Amino acid sequence: MLWRHGRTQWNAKGLVQGQTDTELDHVGRRQARSAAARLALLEPVRIVSSDLARAHDTATVLGDMTGVAVEKDQRLREMSFGQREGKTFDEAMEQFPEQMRRWLDGDDTRFAGAETYAEAGARFSHAVEDVAGRLGDDETAVVVAHGAVLRVGICAFLGLPQEFWVKLGGFNNCSWTVLGEGRGGWRIEEWNAGSLPTPVLSDDE
């Protein structure tokens, strides 16, 4: 289970956060409590979080409900957006028009001081591999992180070619994705969800 943090004021204002260490607002704290009450029913054995406050505080709500200590892993931090952090989309378009146009065209361009999607995806994937490798049969871990790095990191973990990463939509605040091991290895069972997984009653299983 991979879970995005609750809302921040920067989210509400449309500001790029990246690795800027912002905090949950009152809506985000309420979202975390509501989502954690459902995720606690999965009885996670591990909760591993980005060390940035908005993710760690979200994870701590679940930890308090389940009695599971929250572990921090810097590899789960949001992607660094460098000079775009603290700016809206329109401000970035005005200040960095050529780079933004290349980015919108699908070029994994590097803004000053930033990571590429490939770099962020690789570090996040390594962290998820470590968590997955220590899970027993039928055990659940919850990884708490950030929208952009969750999207590209999950794709990297699953081995999806980078040209397909843009085909998967972003994460709402406090939504999650469920990964499970199937016949062909790890796969997506739910994406950007807000409800607990239910059995798939299908011939495809």
Question: Which of 5, 56, 85, 146 is the catalytic position?
Answer: 5
Number of C-beta neighbours around residue 185 at 10 A: 8
Nearest-angstrom CA–CA distance, 45 and 47: 7
In degrees and rounded to multiples of 5, residue 49 shows phi and psi of: -130, 150
Q: Rounded to 5, what percent of the chain is helix, strand, coil?
A: 45, 15, 40
Active site residue 78: yes
Query: What is the torsional sign of CA 42, 38, 120, 53?
Result: negative
Q: First CA to last CA across the chain, in angstroms?
A: 20
94 is catalytic: no
Q: Could you write out the three-class secondary structure of 113-168? A: CECCHHHHHHHHHHHHHHHHHCCCCCCCEEEEECHHHHHHHHHHHHCCCHHHHHHC
Catalytic residue among 43, 71, 78, 205: 78
The residues that are catalytic are 5, 78
